[in-house]
Amino acid sequence: MLAALAAAGPALAGDPVSTRFSGQLELGGEPSGTIGFVLDEDKKRKVHSIAITDMRANCGGNAAELDFDIYGNTKVLDDRKFAVRSEDGEGAKAIVRGRFSRKFKRAKGTARLHGKFDLGTGGGRTKCETGKQKFKATVTG
């Protein structure tokens, strides 16, 4: 299971201001899990701590729900876009692409998980695919 993202504390001198976003993933217009991430604003805006929970997937011909965490910092480009690609070292991959609204209160984009995942069934890792799933996320808190 994924740990909840910690609440933002007061900004200390030199610490970046953090804004948390959360939203719904959709597959074919139907809900398909959640996405959450943090936007830090220092000299440059950076996205980090992306958490994907209960994303619908096809795993070896069976329906499943996948969780995936992405750590590290990704710069937000001048056109408010960001793109993150991550691997877990054992064959699971995630790609998240998005764009923020002009005032950085909303973001929308796509997320995709694919590769081999441990489904906790004792059968080792299984090949899974989610396809590109749309998301819309808003500032929380």
Q: How far apart are CA 100 and CA 13, in angstroms?
A: 26
Would you say domain 17-139 falls under CATH 1.10.3470? no
pLDDT of residue 109: 97
pLDDT of residue 121: 72
pLDDT of residue 6: 34
pLDDT of 15 > 80? The answer is no
pTM: 0.83
Q: What is the pLDDT of residues 32-67, one digit of tens each?
A: 999 999 999 888 999 999 999 999 999 988 999 999
For the chain, the domains span 17-139
Q: Give the 3-state secondary structure of 2-61.
A: CCCCCCCCCCCCCCCEEEEEEEEEEECCEEEEEEEEEEEECCCEEEEEEEEEEEEEEECC
Q: What is the pLDDT of residues 75-110, one digit of tens each?
A: 999 999 999 999 988 889 999 999 999 999 999 999
Residue 61 amino acid letter: G
